[in-house]
Amino acid sequence: MKKIIIAIDGFSSTGKSTIAKQLAKHLGYVYVDTGAMYRAVALFAMENGYINKEYFDTQTLINALPDIRLQFQYNNTLGFAEMYLNDTNVENEIRTLNVSQYVSRIAEISEVRAKLVEQQQKMGQERGIVMDGRDIGTVVFPDAEVKIFMNSSAETRAQRRFEELTEKGQVVSFEDVLKNVQERDHIDSNREDSPLIVAKDAIEIDNSEIDKEEQFAQVLELVQKSL
């Protein structure tokens, strides 16, 4: 059977990764979470003191980009690939609210985007990939056979993220999570380089009201048509 590229874009916490993982498992495809890559670069910048609340040394980060090595390694027990930054597993560290508070500013930098987009395009050379992010259907794989754009209300998304974080034992308030979701929506949609927009040929899904099974059935139908 021919192998295709499935691009899943959308706002934060719309359940992109859930649907992408389900699809990849069903089809035997590789799943790539590109948000994890931007988060790992944000973590690198934070750990090296290039960014904090008052300060962002963009140029030093750009100069250090050749020192950033990002890899995904499949974890059989978890059933998905974990993010490694310079050979260290950073899967947990990159999912904190602290990293979320800086990542959109990191993702505005064209040099960062160029490096990550190049790596993402290489991962899709053989097709047979489900990739989620913000610019997959518009910039990374404009020729993807299936493009999905996911959305739901900011409150629904913040509630999901809040539950995820508290389940992991992180102490956060719903108000802070909602504020972060809204801030990232704004920066991700308004940045100059590769803003979050709906690709012309993307199918839009609003999942505020539908459950995971219903959503998966909808998306699988789209994919099967394309196959």
Sheet containing 70-75: which strands, arranged edge to edge? 70-75, 80-85, 88-89
Site for ligand DC in 134-163 (CB under 6 A): 134-135
Q: Which stretch binds ligand DC (CB under 6 A): 47-55, 77-85, 133-141, 207-215?
A: 133-141
Q: Which stretch binds ligand DC (CB under 6 A): 31-39, 45-53, 162-170, 201-209?
A: 31-39
Burial per residue of 177-198, b for 16 or more beta-carbon CB atoms within 10 angstroms, e otherwise: bbebbeebbeebeebeebebee
Please check whether residue 73 is in contact with residue 155, taking contact to mean a CB–CB distance below 8 angstroms.
no
Rounded to whole angstroms, the Cα distance separating 23 from 25 reads 5
Cα dihedral 113, 117, 119, 122 in deg (nearest 10):
-170
Give strand pairing partners of 7. Answer: 131, 147
Q: Which stretch binds ligand DC (CB under 6 A): 129-137, 175-183, 205-213, 216-224?
A: 129-137
Please check whether residue 37 is in contact with residue 83, taking contact to mean a CB–CB distance below 8 angstroms.
yes
The answer to the question of residue 10 lying near ligand DC (CB under 6 A) is no
The answer to the question of residue 91 lying near ligand DC (CB under 6 A) is no
User: How many residues bind ligand DC, per CB under 6 A?
Assistant: 13
Q: Which stretch binds ligand DC (CB under 6 A): 44-52, 55-63, 102-110, 164-172?
A: 102-110
Among residues 8, 27, 109, 133, which is the contact residue for ligand DC, using CB under 6 A? Answer: 133
The answer to the question of residue 104 lying near ligand DC (CB under 6 A) is yes
Rounded to whole angstroms, the Cα distance separating 208 from 139 reads 27
Among residues 51, 103, 129, 223, which is the contact residue for ligand DC, using CB under 6 A? Answer: 103
Least distance in Å: CB of 225 to ligand DC? Answer: 25
Least distance in Å: CB of 2 to ligand DC? Answer: 25
Select 151 or 224, whichever has its Cβ closest to ligand DC.
151
The alpha-helical segments, DSSP class H, found in the chain are: 16-27, 34-47, 58-64, 97-106, 110-123, 154-167, 174-190, 212-226
Among residues 149, 188, 215, 219, which is the contact residue for ligand DC, using CB under 6 A? Answer: 188
Site for ligand DC in 32-51 (CB under 6 A): 34-35, 38-39
Please check whether residue 185 is in contact with residue 177, taking contact to mean a CB–CB distance below 8 angstroms.
no
Select 124 or 133, whichever has its Cβ closest to ligand DC.
133
* CA-wise closest residue to 70 among 46, 38, 99, 106: 38
Footprint of ligand DC (CB under 6 A):
12, 34-35, 38-39, 103-104, 107, 133-135, 184, 188
